[in-house]
């Protein structure tokens, strides 16, 4: 009904203007709808919230968050960066290469962009500065490379997209491999080019490690390097589901950190678990309210109305994709990733399918746009995380990340208009 739609939009905008958290805004707007415009008893709202989270695929999210915290505290992320430094640290731009590669590897098991920024940035920002890189360049590169955490599988936003749109999460993970590698390689090229052009970092025999030292670094890091292959290989070979893979990542990280590396004690697990619970609760609260709001949208047939209106515009697929990219780039600046997916994906995906766009390809486009939103103000989460670690202001970090963000925009354009990057592995 038209009246309900206008009231919903007005309440949501009012709450967002008053700086209410996005999860609270979605939840309160949904409550207003249930109270005034439906016959559904309010007592059923809590039941719907519980049912929204009663999903086996969603269990992957807290497991991946816990695995990321264990890896960060247990020496796994440090060994990854040490190995990269041993291999290429002596080259001009070598530490920048190490930073991007470490972010790619950590993203491949954590599924979280902020966790990647924290785990790698805490090690690499000081190391790059000691190696002659400016603080601004180092911080901007880590903030941007860390955003690969929501694209390279396993990815929490891809899990959320799959649940919101009923798409196969395994196919989404497969589709994220090439775009993630493409974005990472392009960031590597940009970092090396800037380092050579501006003379950042050191180069020469004085910084070259002996083969024995390189072999030692490799031996120290081999268990850390094996983790991405264990998790992703298990998923793609059919040994376990993405949710089970998340549990495997936790178990593997615990064994390696507690028994082999011994950089974390049993007494510290409570602190690590509590931190993971807080983060997981925040994410799950957003998802629950987002799914509740999605139910409200579906009840008012808003996705169908928007789909019919845009379809009547008689757009070509490429024109629609340009509009979607512009919309999502803007939304990524002002809205949290999971909330944006839960609100917009059910509305936009039917239009994409109507225009003949592959839904898995479309999911990668959505996540890549929101990936860029992680490094754009005012709400780019990676900016705040990198700012806290470096001591720079958020706007200074955003300015430093502009060259890297342009690289990600170029990668987005390639994936948008060359579907092969997103669909090459799907169905294998």
Q: Are residues 2 and 62 in the same domain?
A: no
Q: Write down the pLDDT at residue 202.
A: 64
Q: Are residues 312 and 241 in the same domain?
A: yes
Q: Are residues 4 and 105 in the same domain?
A: no
Full-model pTM: 0.82
Q: Are residues 57 and 120 in the same domain?
A: yes
Q: Are residues 36 and 100 in the same domain?
A: no
Q: Are residues 36 and 74 in the same domain?
A: no
Q: Above pLDDT 70, what percent of the chain?
A: 95
Q: Write down the pLDDT at residue 307.
A: 67
Q: Write down the pLDDT at residue 187.
A: 93
Q: Are residues 100 and 16 in the same domain?
A: no
Euclidean distance between CA atoms 121 and 59, whole angstroms? 27
Q: Write down the pLDDT at residue 205.
A: 40
Domain range holding 27?
Answer: 1-40
Q: Write down the pLDDT at residue 303.
A: 66
Mean pLDDT per 10-residue section of the chain, whose length is 428 residues: 72 79 81 78 75 79 84 79 76 83 80 78 82 88 87 86 87 90 93 86 57 80 82 81 87 89 86 87 81 76 71 84 89 79 87 91 94 80 80 85 92 94 83
Q: Write down the pLDDT at residue 2.
A: 62
Q: Are residues 138 and 12 in the same domain?
A: no
Euclidean distance between CA atoms 384 and 393, whole angstroms? 8
């Amino acid at each position: 009904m038209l009246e309900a739609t206008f009231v919903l939009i007005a309440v949501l905008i009012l709450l967002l203007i008053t700086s209410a958290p996005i999860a609270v805004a979605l939840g309160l707007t949904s409550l207003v709808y249930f109270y005034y415009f439906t016959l559904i008893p309010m007592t059923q709202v809590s039941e719907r919230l519980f049912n929204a989270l009663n999903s086996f695929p969603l269990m992957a999210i807290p497991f991946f968050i816990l695995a990321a915290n264990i890896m960060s505290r247990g020496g796994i992320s440090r060994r990854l960066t040490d190995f990269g430094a041993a291999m290429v640290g002596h080259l001009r731009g070598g530490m920048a290469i190490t930073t991007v590669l470490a972010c790619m590897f950590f993203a491949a098991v954590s599924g979280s962009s902020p966790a990647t920024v924290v785990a790698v940035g805490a090690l690499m920002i000081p190391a790059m500065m000691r190696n002659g890189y400016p603080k601004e360049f180092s911080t901007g590169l880590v903030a941007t490379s860390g955003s690969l955490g929501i694209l390279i599988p396993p990815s929490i936003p891809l899990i959320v997209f799959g649940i919101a749109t009923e798409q196969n999460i395994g196919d989404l993970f497969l589709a994220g491999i090439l775009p993630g590698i493409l974005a990472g390689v392009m960031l590597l090229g940009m970092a090396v080019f800037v380092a050579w052009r501006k003379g950042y970092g050191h180069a020469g025999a004085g910084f070259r490690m002996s083969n024995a030292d390189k072999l030692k670094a490799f031996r120290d890091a081999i268990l850390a390097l094996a983790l991405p292959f264990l998790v992703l290989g298990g998923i793609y070979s059919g040994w376990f589901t993405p949710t089970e893979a998340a549990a495997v990542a936790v178990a593997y990280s615990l064994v390696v950190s507690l028994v082999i590396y011994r950089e974390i004690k049993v007494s510290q697990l409570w602190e690590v678990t509590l931190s993971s619970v807080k983060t997981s609760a925040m994410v799950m609260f957003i998802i629950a309210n987002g799914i509740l709001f999605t139910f409200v949208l579906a009840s008012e047939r808003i996705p169908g109305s928007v789909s019919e209106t845009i379809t009547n515009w008689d757009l070509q697929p490429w024109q629609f994709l340009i509009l979607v990219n512009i919309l999502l780039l803007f939304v990524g600046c002002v809205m949290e990733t999971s909330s944006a997916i839960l609100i917009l994906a059910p509305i936009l995906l039917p239009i994409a399918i109507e225009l003949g766009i592959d839904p898995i390809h479309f999911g990668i486009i959505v996540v890549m746009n929101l990936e860029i939103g992680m490094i754009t103000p005012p709400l780019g989460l990676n900016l705040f995380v990198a700012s806290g670690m470096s001591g720079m202001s958020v706007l200074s970090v955003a300015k430093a990340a502009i060259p890297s963000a342009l690289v990600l925009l170029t990668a987005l354009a390639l994936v948008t208009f060359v579907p092969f990057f997103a669909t090459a592995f799907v169905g294998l």
